[in-house]
């Protein structure tokens, strides 16, 4: 085989009209080699003749297993084919074969019309937040991005439960000022999975007159806009920041989003703040009626005058012990009413297993307990005299005694 330099020289001399026999004599090679070099479209390269290896006897069986399950782990494949050689060598060969058996899933280019859709997702900032009880916890952030304008709103929430997800969704939709015609979610248990939404989600969507879209598995492109935003938050918002509470996080994040929505988005070559008006114009109006969202329950208040909401206990005015009370809560407050009268109002705790007590309730409970323990006064009648004949008549002794 000739070298790369000889191949280039042969082609140059042939292009200059030098006879092939003279080129062969000059380089000391055969004329046939010169002819092949002139006719070749690519430079010469050495190709080693395929040789069998220790993996060759099991390759057919590995291919068969990968055909049935392309994601089968290499360790499982090695066990199935009874591999006894080097595990790293086996993994290298499996990595070489796996692409030949993976199913192809093309991704279409999606076009988002104004007002058509908003993509919703939960982002978990990679930093724990300090809570009321001094503990640190990773908390979710609900992110909603209008697909056409890329305008983003977001807020940190205490849980992933349906009540908090709907409360936060309504809060963010109010920030948008209008209702997107579709809200796109993937398999979030608090919203729904498959074709059915979680309890309360259908009535929420109906009140907004919008449509919930629950994406099937392995469909990241349909929600890629908001997921790329989540990755951007971790590289652009989080570095160098510290937070003393969830409220502090929301304040800082809201200020940063105001600036972020004013930056040019590379894919649309425009600023979200410049396109949000067109988005809003095509969206639906906010519902004219108030939405009854959040945590709601009705219980009979026990002697310990506390109600439980999401693992936390909140004190209630003990004067309504034994009565039915209505417990309601949003992202910030927990309120209890008895017959429409407010008997408890607490800031909502985002930590878990806490007991929140109003000192007024404790003082009132002490007074009621003291009144209960005091002996009750006995009412004495003014007239204690009674006709003895009443007793005779009661026992049937009305006749004379002999």
Report the CATH number at residue 200: 3.30.420.10
Look up residue 350 and give its DSSP letter: -
Query: Is there a domain that residue 288 lies in?
Result: no
**pLDDT per residue as tens, the chain (402 positions):** 678 888 888 888 888 888 989 888 888 888 888 888 888 877 777 667 767 788 999 999 999 999 989 999 999 999 999 999 999 999 999 999 999 888 877 666 778 999 999 999 999 999 999 999 999 999 999 999 999 999 999 999 999 999 999 999 999 999 999 999 999 998 899 999 877 788 999 999 999 999 999 988 767 677 889 999 999 999 999 999 999 999 999 999 999 999 999 999 998 999 999 999 999 999 999 998 888 899 999 999 999 999 999 999 999 999 999 999 999 999 999 999 999 999 999 999 999 999 999 999 999 999 999 988 888 776 655 565 666 677 677 777 666 554
Q: Is 258 found in the same domain as 219?
A: yes
Residue 228 lies in a domain: yes
- On whether residue 70 sits in a domain, the answer given is yes
User: Do residue 148 and residue 260 come from a single domain?
Assistant: yes
- Structural domain includes residue 163: yes
The answer on 71 and 215 residing in a single domain is: no
Same domain, 260 and 194: yes
* Confidence at residue 211, expressed as pLDDT on a 0 to 100 scale: 95
Is 398 among the domain residues? no
Choose the final residue of a domain: 231, 261, 282.
282
Q: Is the dihedral of CA 379, 383, 384, 389 positive or negative?
A: negative
End-to-end Cα separation, the chain, in angstroms: 157
Please, which residues have CB within 8 angstroms of residue 293's CB and are 6 or more apart in sequence? Answer: 163, 166, 167, 170, 204, 330
How much is the pLDDT for 345?
Answer: 97
- Same domain as 250, residue 142: yes
Local structure of residue 236 (DSSP, 8 states)? I
pTM across the whole model:
0.71
Structure-token pair, residue 384: 């204690």
Domain extent at residue 60: 56-100
pLDDT at 46: 65
Query: Helix (H, G, I), strand (E, B), or coil: what is residue 131?
Result: coil
Contact in structure between 157 and 170 (CB atoms under 8 Å): no
What pLDDT does 307 receive? 97
357 within a domain of the structure (yes/no)? yes
Same domain, 93 and 199: no
């Amino acid at each position: 085989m000739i070298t790369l330099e000889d191949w280039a020289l042969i082609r140059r001399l042939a292009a200059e009209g030098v006879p092939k026999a003279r080129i062969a004599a000059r380089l000391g090679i055969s004329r046939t080699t010169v002819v092949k070099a002139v006719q070749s479209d690519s430079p010469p390269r050495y190709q080693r003749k395929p040789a069998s290896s220790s993996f060759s006897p099991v390759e057919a069986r590995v291919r068969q297993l990968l055909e049935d399950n392309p994601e089968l782990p290499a360790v499982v494949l090695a066990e199935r084919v009874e591999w006894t050689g080097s595990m790293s060598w086996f993994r290298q060969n499996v990595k070489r074969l796996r692409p030949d058996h993976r199913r192809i899933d093309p991704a279409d280019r999606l076009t988002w019309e104004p007002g058509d859709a908003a993509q919703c997702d939960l982002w978990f900032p990679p930093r724990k937040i300090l809570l009321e009880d001094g503990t640190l916890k990773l908390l979710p952030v609900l992110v909603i991005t209008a697909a056409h304008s890329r305008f983003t709103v977001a807020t940190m929430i205490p849980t992933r439960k349906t009540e908090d997800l709907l409360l936060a969704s309504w809060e963010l939709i109010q920030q948008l000022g209008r209702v997107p015609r579709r809200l796109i979610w993937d398999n979030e248990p608090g919203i729904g999975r498959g074709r059915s939404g979680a309890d309360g989600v259908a009535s929420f969507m109906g009140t907004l007159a919008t449509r919930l879209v629950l994406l099937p598995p392995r469909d990241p492109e349909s929600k890629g806009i908001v997921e790329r935003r989540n990755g951007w938050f971790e590289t652009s918002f989080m570095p160098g920041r510290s937070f003393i509470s969830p409220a502090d996080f929301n304040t800082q994040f809201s200020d940063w989003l105001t600036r972020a929505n004013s930056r040019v988005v590379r894919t649309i070559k425009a600023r979200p703040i410049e396109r949000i008006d067109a988005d809003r114009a095509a969206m639906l109006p906010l519902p004219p009626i108030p939405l009854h969202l959040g945590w709601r329950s009705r219980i009979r208040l026990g002697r310990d005058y506390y109600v439980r909401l999401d693992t936390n206990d909140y004190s209630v005015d003990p004067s309504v012990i034994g009565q039915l009370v209505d417990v309601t809560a949003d992202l910030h407050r927990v309120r209890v009413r008895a017959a429409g009268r407010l008997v408890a109002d607490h800031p909502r705790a985002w930590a878990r297993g806490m007991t929140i007590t109003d000192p007024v309730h404790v003082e009132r409970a002490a007074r009621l307990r003291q009144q209960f323990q005091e002996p009750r006064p006995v009412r004495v009648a003014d007239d204690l005299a009674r006709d003895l004949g009443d007793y005779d008549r009661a026992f049937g002794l009305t006749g004379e005694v002999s």
